């Protein structure tokens, strides 16, 4: 079990190779203030560096919210320069999560609004409870998304849905989010832990260096031409032939037994 300082707005716990990072401000529906953004950045830095961690689950404390957005009370008093810095702090966190060398799974247990949806979109997979609602409601505050929402939503589900969510600001159901491709799966709220646990356990058993290569290839491919992406994929593919895990995975298939991957 990893240590979590008592007063931290973020808690961390380990179950085998699965690390769970939880935003711990349930009385504020886990809203992201600057201290929480920093605590999340520290938690992800530590998870990236720890070889015992193979997958990270990100969630929010309490029954109501994953994260209900950036902290509106904190934003209310910011100057333009401070507002830009707050945006840059949030964007840096989202980029850090997106570029994690191990899979990050968002467990969307309730409201994922504004910065909460931006946080979920930075994760590699999103599983939502059927009671969850997601949206980009910043327009109702005289704002626009500032932690990458206008850009990641666009890349995730296209211009029509992005403009609908960001222009109208109305939250949508988890089911609609699934139809739009914003989340990967929706399950009954009481089945969320089992579904997230199954996916996390599968990822924890997978070959870590292959997972990393795949995350890299998809990220790079999303930012470049097809030719450049294909070249990058070949390089990553070739590199994996230098790993013991690739020999183990292919041998285990041929020998009709389960593979055991060692991160080597």
Considering the complex, state which of residue 53 and residue 161 has its C-beta at the smaller distance from ligand COA.
Answer: 161
Considering the complex, state which of residue 147 and residue 261 has its C-beta at the smaller distance from ligand COA.
Answer: 147
Tell me the C-alpha distance between 198 and 200, whole Å. Answer: 6
Q: Please provide the DSSP assignment of 84-130 as one string.
A: HHHHHHHHHHHHHHHT-SS-EEEEE-SEEETHHHHHHHHSSEEEEET
The helix/strand/coil state of 139 is: helix
Considering the complex, state which of residue 28 and residue 102 has its C-beta at the smaller distance from ligand COA.
Answer: 28
Active site residue 138: yes
Residue 196 is a binding residue for ligand COA (CB under 6 A): no
Q: Exactly one of 72, 154, 168, 187 binds ligand COA (CB under 6 A); which one? A: 72
Tell me the C-alpha distance between 85 and 104, whole Å. Answer: 25
Tell me the C-alpha distance between 26 and 72, whole Å. Answer: 15
Considering the complex, state which of residue 60 and residue 114 has its C-beta at the smaller distance from ligand COA.
Answer: 114
Tell me the C-alpha distance between 109 and 100, whole Å. Answer: 22
Q: Which of 45, 98, 138, 248 is catalytic?
A: 138
Of 117-176, binders to ligand COA (CB under 6 A) are 137-138, 141
Residue 141 DSSP class:
G
143: tokens are 């704002």
Residue 73 is a binding residue for ligand COA (CB under 6 A): yes
Residue 77 is a binding residue for ligand COA (CB under 6 A): no
Residue 245 is a binding residue for ligand COA (CB under 6 A): no
Q: How many CB atoms lie within 10 A of CB 21?
A: 23
Residue 70 is a binding residue for ligand COA (CB under 6 A): yes
Active site residue 223: no
Residue 28 is a binding residue for ligand COA (CB under 6 A): yes
Q: Which stretch binds ligand COA (CB under 6 A): 23-31, 42-50, 150-158, 223-231?
A: 23-31
Give the catalytic positions in this structure: 118, 138
């Amino acid at each position: 079990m990893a240590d979590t300082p008592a007063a931290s707005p973020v808690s961390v716990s380990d179950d085998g190779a699965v690390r769970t990072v939880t935003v711990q401000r349930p009385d504020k529906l886990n809203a992201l203030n600057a201290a929480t953004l920093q605590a999340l950045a520290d938690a992800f830095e530590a998870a990236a560096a720890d070889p015992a961690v193979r997958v990270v689950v990100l969630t929010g404390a309490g029954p109501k919210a994953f994260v209900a957005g950036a902290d509106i009370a904190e934003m209310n008093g910011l100057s333009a320069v401070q507002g830009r810095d707050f945006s840059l702090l949030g964007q840096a966190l989202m980029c850090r999560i997106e570029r994690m060398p191990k899979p990050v799974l968002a467990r969307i247990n309730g409201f994922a609004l504004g910065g909460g949806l931006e946080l979920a979109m930075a994760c590699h997979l999103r599983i939502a409870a059927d009671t969850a609602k997601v949206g980009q409601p910043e327009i109702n505050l005289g704002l626009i998304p500032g932690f990458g929402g206008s850009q990641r939503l666009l890349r995730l589900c296209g211009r029509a849905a992005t403009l609908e969510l960001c222009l109208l600001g109305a939250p949508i159901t988890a089911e609609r989010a699934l139809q739009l491709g914003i989340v990967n799966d929706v399950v009954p709220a009481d089945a969320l832990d089992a579904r997230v646990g199954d996916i996390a356990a599968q990822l924890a058993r997978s070959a870590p260096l292959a997972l990393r290569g795949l995350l890299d290839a998809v990220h790079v491919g999303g930012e470049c031409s097809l030719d450049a992406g294909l070249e990058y994929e070949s390089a990553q593919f070739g590199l994996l032939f230098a790993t013991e895990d690739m020999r183990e995975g292919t041998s285990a298939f041929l020998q009709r037994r389960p593979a055991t991957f060692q991160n080597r």
